[in-house]
């Protein structure tokens, strides 16, 4: 299989307007991934599937990641003259990096027996801009897994053939895999409460016994 750098460079030549970036992985697995912007994602996916040297014909896994807002502390130094004396002044500031949601695909070639290629897409933010293109038209195995990511993270897959909840019920609010998700503190319908669940149930319903 070609290196990730080679795949990125060939994609950049085929799609000069696309934004592509290698995302390093510092874990022992060291499985770096390729991030692509959403604008040409569907065309890039088809290219990865159909290119004779790659033939990534199978999406084995699709999952989501929730990246919260982060605050980066920065400092700048400058020389200023104070009372006729040069002094080194350090100014500290904080910069907010907005959070976003991410969808990650693991791709393999069953035909050429290589992989994985780890492919990423990101949403604009965690609230109003949460859409990415569905890659189910390219890899049918992604259909149920994209539904699961939609259900648990709230990522909307544009062009998905049947985008609806798959684990939670239709009336369920919020997304349980978001990092800021707060589970409801109401266990009225918990049939066998125990441990922390029992403590919460007893706060709502003192008649609940152990």
Q: Averaged over 25-47, what is the pLDDT?
A: 94
The encoded tokens of residue 79 equal 């020389």
Q: Determine the 3-state secondary structure of 103 from DSSP.
A: strand
Q: What angle do CA 153, 58, 126 make, to 5 degrees?
A: 15
The encoded tokens of residue 149 equal 């990511």
Lowest mean pLDDT among 38-52, 106-120, 196-210: 196-210
pLDDT bracket for residue 63 (50, 70, 90): very high
> Token pair 């100014």 is at which residue?
91
Q: Averaged over 84-108, what is the pLDDT?
A: 91
Buried b (16+ CB within 10 A) or exposed e, 73-88: eeeeeeeeeeeeeeee
Specify which residues 65 forms β-bridges with.
Answer: 102
Find the farthest-apart pair of alpha carbons in the chain and give their distance in angstroms, rounded: 77
Instruction: Give the domains, in start order, of the chain with CATH numbers.
Output: 4-65+102-173 (3.30.460.80), 180-210 (no CATH)
Question: Is the peptide bond preceding residue 116 cis, with omega within 30 degrees of 0?
Answer: yes
Closest by CA to 103, choosing from 137, 148, 150, 64, is 64
CA distance 133 to 161: 12
Q: Is the pLDDT of residue 200 over 80?
A: no
pTM attached to this predicted model: 0.82
């Amino acid at each position: 299989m070609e290196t990730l750098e080679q795949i990125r460079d060939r994609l950049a030549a085929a799609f000069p307007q696309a934004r592509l970036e290698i995302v390093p992985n510092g874990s022992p697995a060291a499985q770096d991934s390729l991030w692509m912007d959403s604008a040409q994602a569907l065309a890039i996916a088809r290219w990865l599937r159909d290119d004779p040297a790659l033939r990534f014909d199978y999406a084995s896994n699709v999952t989501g990641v929730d990246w919260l807002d982060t605050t980066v502390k920065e400092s700048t130094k400058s020389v200023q003259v104070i009372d006729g004396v040069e002094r080194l002044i350090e100014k500290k500031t904080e910069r907010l990096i907005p959070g976003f949601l991410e969808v990650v695909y693991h791709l393999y070639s069953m035909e050429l027996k290589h992989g994985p290629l780890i492919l990423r897409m990101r949403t604009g933010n965690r609230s109003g801009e949460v859409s990415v293109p569905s890659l189910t038209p390219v890899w049918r195995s992604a259909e149920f897994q994209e539904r699961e990511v939609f259900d648990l993270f709230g990522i909307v897959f544009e062009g998905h053939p049947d985008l609806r909840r798959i684990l939670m019920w239709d009336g369920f609010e919020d997304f349980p895999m978001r990092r800021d998700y707060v589970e409801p503190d109401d266990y009225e319908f918990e049939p066998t409460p125990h441990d922390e669940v029992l403590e919460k149930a007893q706060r709502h319903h003192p008649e609940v016994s152990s």
